[in-house]
A and B are shown apart, each in its own frame.
Chain A
Amino acid sequence: MSVSPTAAKSLSVSIRGLAQSYGALQVLKELDLDIPDGEFLVLLGPSGCGKSTLLNCIAGLLEPTNGQVFIKGKNVTWEEPSKRGIGMVFQSYALYPQMTVERNMSFGLRVSGMNKVEIEQRVKRASEILQLEPLLQRKPMQLSGGQRQRVAIGRALVRDVDVFLFDEPLSNLDAKLRAELRVEIKRLHQRLGNTMIYVTHDQIEAMTLADRIAVMKGGTIQQLADPMTIYSKPINRYVAGFIGSPSMNFIKATLGGTIKAPTVEVSGQKLDVSDYAFAGMAPIGSAIEFGARPEHINILRGKDTKAKGVFDAVVELVEPMGSDTLVWLELGKQKISIRVESSQIMRPGEHVGVQFRVKQASLFDAQSGERL
Chain B
Amino acid sequence: MSNIVSNPIIPSGPKPKKFITTERAVVYSVLCICAAFFLFPLYIMVITSLKDLDGIRYGNIFVPTLHPSLGAWNKALFHACTGLYCQGILPGFWNSCKITGPSVIVSIAVASVTGYSLANWPFKFSEGFFTVLLVSSFIPYVVMLYPLVLITRWLGIYSTLPAVILVHTIFGLPILTLLFRNYFSSLPQELFKAARVDGAGYWRIFFQVFAPMSIPIFTVAVILQVTGIWNDFLFGVIYAGPTNYPMTVQLNNIVNSMEGVKEYNVDMAATILTGIVPLSIYFFSGKYFVRGIAAGAVKG
Contact = CB atoms under 8 A, between A and B. Distances in A.
A83 B199 CA distance: 8
A90 B199 contact: no
Contact of B198 (A60, A91, A108, A167): A108
Contacts of A167: 190
Contacts of A88: 193-194, 197
A82 B196 contact: yes
B197 A108 contact: yes
Interface string A155-187: 100010000000100000000000000000000
A61 B197 CA distance: 8
A219 interface: no
Interface in A85-103: 86-88, 90-98
Contact of A81 (B191, B197, B204, B213): B197
B195 to A, nearest CB: 8
Contacts of B195: 96, 107
Contacts of A83: 199
Interface in A53-80: 56, 59-61, 80
Interface in B212-233: 212-213
Contact of A80 (B199, B209, B212, B213): B199
B190 A92 contact: yes
Contacts of A94: 188, 190-191, 193-194
A218 B118 CA distance: 30
Interface size band for B: 10 to 19
B188 A107 contact: no
A2 interface: no
B47 interface: no
Interface residues of A, number: 28
The DSSP consensus for interface residues of chain B is helix
A92 B193 CA distance: 11
A107 B198 contact: yes
A56 B200 CA distance: 17
Contacts of B212: 97-98
A87 B190 contact: no
B196 A81 contact: yes
Contacts of A61: 193, 196-197
A89 to B, nearest CB: 9
A159 B196 CA distance: 13
Given A59-B197, A82-B199, A93-B190, 14 more contacts: A56-B193, A59-B193, A61-B196, A80-B196, A81-B197, A94-B191, A96-B195, A97-B213, A98-B212, A98-B213, A107-B198, A108-B198, A108-B199, A111-B199
24 contacts: A60-B196, A61-B193, A61-B196, A61-B197, A80-B199, A81-B197, A81-B199, A82-B198, A83-B199, A88-B193, A90-B190, A92-B190, A95-B191, A96-B195, A98-B212, A98-B213, A107-B200, A108-B197, A108-B199, A111-B198, A111-B199, A152-B194, A155-B194, A167-B190
